[in-house]
Amino acid sequence: MNKLNSGAVLPAGLLNVNEMAMMEGFNKTYRNFAMRIGVVVSSYPVSVERNRSKLTTEYDVMVVEQNEDRGATTILYRNCMSAEGLGSIADFFEKALRPKKKKTTKGDSINLNGQDGAIVLLLCLDGMSDKGIIIGQMTHPDRKTKLSDEGPYLEGEYNGLNIKVAKDGSATLTFRGATDNDGKVLDKEQGDTIIKIEKDGSYQVSHKTITQRLAKDGKASLTADDDISNTTKKNFNVTATENIALKATKDFTLDSKDLIAKASGSAMLECQKLIVKSESEISLKGSQLQVEAEAMAKIKAAQITLDGLVSLGGEGGQPVLIMTSIIYGTGNLGAPVISQAITGAFKVMAQ
């Protein structure tokens, strides 16, 4: 049976059937119940042809597999789906795992360290090797853990968005910008934007040009390096039970259809130069009106009407003629001469 036509004799074991090897092959294909650890080396979104299920992103996972007391080897599991949370139509939680882009170890085999792909745990559905399911992820050996003290403490990051919950209950959400597989920010101009909830409940949002803070003690602030704009399609109301202070180091512009300013107490306007201009009537009304100019006061109009008793004159001017005023002048044989009043009043009342 093991003799060829040429007369050569084949080894007796060459044509024997290895029943144990056949059983191991069968178990590997249909009884693959062990949990494996491996590296995501490729990903196939639902939009590409190599995606089989068209349900979600599928991954090729290179696992490090130990077969009982035999040596370990790497085996590629293709088109594995990743287990996701919630599992209903209305409620879902999906994420994309990062496949390996580079490795620093030598050779074709893949170690868990020295590469930048996601480290995952894999089980085979129904024990069948062609139904690999990623059931979770493990800490990458090339990333230093953030858990240095006893908890409670939580920190996570996905594509540059970092969240922290400290032992005192404070929380921080930091936007750093998109990152590569090593966690390095691709564009440093994107971040950082930080949202903080402090242990007393105070809330703050900040980045390099704007900071907004809502403190638990009731104080609120908004600081910006550039313009601040507020727009509403209806009313805009500001109420302070105490003082309101407005300060501009340059111009202050107020533009409205009608302007109403009311003060229950006194009002004061102080400036270097004041110009009041109206296209129609200007009215000033009060129990008393006082206008004082240190140098000169000028009133110009086509017609000026003063209604009431008017006092004219002041110290240092020429006397105003009254009924008893004396005029002094010297003439020549009755000829008209220029005369000057030598008596009168420096302040008179006209009606």
Q: How confident is the model at residue 350 (pLDDT cuts 50, 70, 90)?
A: low
Peptide bond into 45 cis (omega under 30): no
Provide φ and ψ at 19, rounded to 5°: -65, -30
Does residue 167 contact residue 152 with C-beta atoms inside 8 Å? yes
Structure confidence at residue 90 (pLDDT): 94
pLDDT digits (tens, 9 = 90+) for 233-258: 999 999 999 999 999 999 999 988 89
Within the chain, strands assigned E span: 36-44, 58-66, 72-82, 119-124, 132-137, 154-158, 161-165, 171-175, 193-197, 203-206, 210-214, 220-224, 310-313, 327-328, 340-341, 347-350
Q: How confident is the model at residue 221 (pLDDT cuts 50, 70, 90)?
A: very high
pLDDT digits (tens, 9 = 90+) for 265-297: 999 988 888 998 888 888 888 888 888 888 888
pLDDT digits (tens, 9 = 90+) for 42-51: 999 999 999 9
Separation in Å, CA 102 to CA 37, 99, 162: 19, 9, 24
Mean pLDDT of all residues belonging to the chain: 87
pLDDT digits (tens, 9 = 90+) for 31-78: 899 999 999 999 999 999 999 999 999 999 999 888 777 778 889 999
Structure confidence at residue 107 (pLDDT): 77
pLDDT digits (tens, 9 = 90+) for 107-141: 777 789 999 999 999 999 999 999 999 999 999 99
Q: What is the largest CA-CA distance in the chain?
A: 182
Q: Please say if the pLDDT value at position 327 is more than 80.
A: no
